[in-house]
Structure 1
Amino acid sequence: MYVRFDADNREGKVLLHWLSELEERDKGGRAELRRAASIQQALMCPAFHRLRRRLEALSPEWTDYLQSPYRQDRLAAACALMVHVRSPGAYDLPHAMSQRALGDERNRVSELRFRRLLDAPDDEALFSGLRRAMPMISDQVDPLKVAEAMLHWGDRLKREWAYAYAWPDKKQA
């Protein structure tokens, strides 16, 4: 099962409703997820389990998909990252990281930091790196794309990110 989150599909609507519910009625749950410094801490947040149960209720395929502990871990990580998005933007992660502030010549996320994300040896390192990058891009990134990236992280997505990131030109000596 390849998961796509879109504002127009069931999964995307569930995710966006969950996010708005956290913002409007469960600020404590949102804060708890924002403070999660590891995937394990995100797994212990009731707000994550609410979303997991809602996704499982969508279809038997979702129930099967989330039987895998590593997929649950990735969904928990996605939850803890999505709550850092202050005002949803239109970009996926590599494009948001490539954006430049008005008048600035540097990407929001440096080339070195981006390389470290691509070289993350495991999900925990990826989560930690993305968590540190979120404050720099939280007004540019689409939370649904954050969830997709976390759920589908692997060599194919790393390659897509490497092509999508706006690598800075090296200055000539």
Structure 2
Amino acid sequence: MTELKKVQFFEEGHPASDYILEWWGDLKQNKGNRAELRRCKNLKEIQLASAYQRCYWQLIEHFTQGQQVPSREQMAIIIGLAAHIEENDTKYKDSDSNNEKEYYFAYQMAAPKGKEKNTPPKLSELRFRRLLKIKDREKLFRFLIQVIRLLDKKVNLLDLLSIAYYWGDKAKPNLAYKYYKKANLKLSEGG
């Protein structure tokens, strides 16, 4: 007898994920709310924004259905970052198999800058290592906004929000494995 896999936060099919995607779609149409959130310079300002509060109270219900309540900082970072994303880019065509595959946020950062495969990644290795050194969500928020802009505001929404939500010792190695799997980095000499 096989057990059904329980859908986790930030996976499609989870009530919180479904609500985030629906809210984000509405946010794209409601430019006033989106602008209010984009103007926020830090997580405290986000928590004071009326657009955040309206989303927070709906979203928290979906998160707490039999689960632990997320921190306000966790909620602020995911709502704040979502406002900066213009396109939810979730799939890419694998050049080897010609199949569509999951386009993880780390893959997007590691994607070549140009159309040629041998160009450096969009997010340089140095900047990626700086990202991994970030310890608090406030700095993470500001850094990820820069990365979103670098990626032309086209990112895998749920994957990015999952990384920001779970930021810490478990999220960082997973991010590193995915980034280095796809990044076109030349091996350093002598190493």
> Where on the TM-score scale, by shorter chain, does this alignment land: which range?
0.7 to 0.9
Change (3 A) 1:150 1:62: farther
Task: Give me the TM-score of the superposition, normalised by structure 2.
Answer: 0.77
Deviations 1:72-106 (A, max 9, x none): 11221111112222211113321110111312601
CA contact (8 A) 1:56 1:62 kept: no
For 1:3 and 1:40, how far apart are their aligned partners in 2?
A: 27
Q: 1:126 aligns with which of 130, 140, 164?
A: 140
Q: What is the TM-score when the length of structure 1 is the normalising length?
A: 0.85
Q: What is the aligned partner in structure 1 of residue 107 from structure 2?
A: 95
Matches of residues 1-173 of structure 1 in structure 2 within 5 Å?
Answer: 4-24=9-29, 26-58=30-62, 60-61=64-65, 65-66=69-70, 71-90=71-90, 91-100=103-112, 101-103=114-116, 105-138=119-152, 140-166=154-180, 167=183, 168-170=185-187
> RMSD of the TM alignment (CA)?
2.3
Checking the alignment, whether the CA contact within 8 Å between 1:75 and 1:151 is kept in structure 2 is: yes
Identity of aligned residues (%): 26
Q: How many equivalent residue pairs? A: 167
Q: Which has the higher contact order (CA 8 A, sep 6+)?
A: 1
8 Å Cα contact 1:95/1:165 also seen in 2? yes
1:19 maps to amino acid: W
Which consecutive residues of structure 1, in runs of 5 or more, have no partner in the other structure? none
CA contact (8 A) 2:109 2:123 kept: yes
Q: Which has the larger radius of gyration?
A: 2
Name stretches of at least 5 consecutive residues in structure 2 with no aligned partner.
Answer: 1-6, 91-102
SS at match of 1:65: coil
Deviations 1:20-77 (A, max 9, x none): 11111x21110121222211121112222222111233374478504xxxx2112211
